[in-house]
Chain A
Amino acid sequence: MNVEALLQQDIPLVRRLLVSAIRTELRRFGFKKGVLGLSGGVDSSLAAFLAAEALGPENVRAVLMPYRTSAPDSSADAMEVIRLLGLNHVTIDITDMVEPLFAQVPNMGQRRRGNVMARARMIVLYDQSEEWGGLVIGTSNKTELLLGYGTLFGDMASAVNPLGDLYKTQVRQLARAVGVPERIIAKPPSADLWPGQTDEGEMGLTYAEVDKVLYLLVDERRTLAEVVGMGFSEAFVRQVWRMVQRNQYKRCPPVIAKVSSRTLDWEFRMPRDWGT
Chain B
Amino acid sequence: MPPQSSSAWRCSLPSAVARPSRTRRHRLRRSPLDSKFTVGLAQTFPRLGDVEANLQRHLELAQEARGLGVNLLIFPELSLTGYTLRELVPHVAIRPSPEHPMWKPLLEASASLAIVVGFVEEDARHRFFASSAFLDGGRVVHVHRKVYLPTYGLFEEGRYLCAGDGFRAFDTRFGRCGMAICEDAWHISTPYLLWMDGADYLIFCSSSPAYGVGTDQEGATANAAIVSQFTKTYATLLTSYAFHVNRVGVEEGISFWGGSLAVSPRGQVIAHAPYFEEALIPLEVDPGLLRAARQRLPLLRDEKPLAVLHELSRILSEERRHDER
- Point out residues on A near B: beta carbons under 8 Å: 221, 255-261, 263, 266-267
Do A266 and B153 touch (CB < 8 A)? yes
Indicate whether B252 reaches chain A with its CB closer than 8 angstroms: yes
Q: Tell whether A259 pairs with B211 under 8 Å between CB atoms, given A266-B153, A267-B153.
A: yes
Do A263 and B252 touch (CB < 8 A)? no
- Contact flags (1/0) for B86-108 with A, using CB distance below 8 Å? 00001000000000000000000
Besides A259-B213, A263-B154, A267-B153, 16 other CB < 8 A contacts? A255-B252, A255-B253, A257-B253, A257-B255, A258-B210, A258-B211, A258-B253, A258-B254, A260-B211, A260-B213, A261-B153, A261-B212, A261-B222, A266-B153, A266-B254, A267-B154
Q: How far is the CB of B45 from chain A (nearest CB, A)?
A: 16
Indicate whether B209 reaches chain A with its CB closer than 8 angstroms: yes
Q: What interface size band does chain B fall in?
A: 10 to 19
- Contact flags (1/0) for B201-225 with A, using CB distance below 8 Å? 0000000011111000000001100
B window 22-47: CB within 8 A of A: none
Q: How far is the CB of B221 from chain A (nearest CB, A)?
A: 9
Do B154 and A266 touch (CB < 8 A)? yes
Q: Which residue of A lies closest to B154 (CB)?
A: A266
B window 210-246: CB within 8 A of A: 210-213, 222-223
Do B211 and A261 touch (CB < 8 A)? yes
Most buried by B among A221, A259, A266, A267: A266
Bound: A259/B211 CA distance, A: 5
Do B209 and A258 touch (CB < 8 A)? yes
Q: How far is the CB of B210 from chain A (nearest CB, A)?
A: 7
Q: How far is the CB of B109 from chain A (nearest CB, A)?
A: 27
Interface of A: prevailing SS: loop
Bound: A9/B188 CA distance, A: 52
Bound: A259/B250 CA distance, A: 12
Q: Which residue of B lies closest to A245 (CB)?
A: B49
Do A260 and B154 touch (CB < 8 A)? no
Q: Please give, as numbers and ranges, the residues of chain B lying within 8 Å of A256 by CB-CB distance.
A: 253
Bound: A258/B210 CA distance, A: 8
Q: How far is the CB of A259 from chain B (nearest CB, A)?
A: 5
| Interface pairs (29), CB distance under 8 Å | A221-B90, A255-B252, A256-B253, A257-B250, A257-B253, A257-B255, A258-B154, A258-B209, A258-B210, A258-B253, A258-B254, A258-B255, A259-B211, A259-B213, A260-B211, A260-B212, A260-B213, A261-B153, A261-B212, A261-B222, A261-B223, A263-B154, A263-B211, A263-B253, A266-B153, A266-B154, A266-B254, A267-B153, A267-B154
Q: Which residue of A lies closest to B87 (CB)?
A: A221
Q: How far is the CB of A260 from chain B (nearest CB, A)?
A: 6
Q: Please give, as numbers and ranges, the residues of chain A lying within 8 Å of B250 by CB-CB distance.
A: 257
Bound: A255/B251 CA distance, A: 9
Q: Please give, as numbers and ranges, the residues of chain A lying within 8 Å of B223 by CB-CB distance.
A: 261
Q: How far is the CB of B47 from chain A (nearest CB, A)?
A: 13
Q: Which residue of A lies closest to B211 (CB)?
A: A261
Q: Please give, as numbers and ranges, the residues of chain A lying within 8 Å of B90 by CB-CB distance.
A: 221
Bound: A95/B106 CA distance, A: 60
Bound: A141/B210 CA distance, A: 37
Q: Which residue of A lies closest to B252 (CB)?
A: A255
Bound: A256/B62 CA distance, A: 34
Q: Please give, as numbers and ranges, the residues of chain B lying within 8 Å of A259 by CB-CB distance.
A: 211, 213
Bound: A215/B210 CA distance, A: 38
Q: Which residue of B lies closest to A260 (CB)?
A: B211
Q: Please give, as numbers and ranges, the residues of chain A lying within 8 Å of B255 by CB-CB distance.
A: 257-258
Bound: A266/B153 CA distance, A: 7
Q: Please give, as numbers and ranges, the residues of chain B lying within 8 Å of A260 by CB-CB distance.
A: 211-213
Bound: A266/B250 CA distance, A: 14
Bound: A241/B142 CA distance, A: 35
Q: Please give, as numbers and ranges, the residues of chain B lying within 8 Å of A266 by CB-CB distance.
A: 153-154, 254
Bound: A90/B253 CA distance, A: 42
Bound: A256/B252 CA distance, A: 8
Q: Please give, as numbers and ranges, the residues of chain B lying within 8 Å of A258 by CB-CB distance.
A: 154, 209-211, 253-255
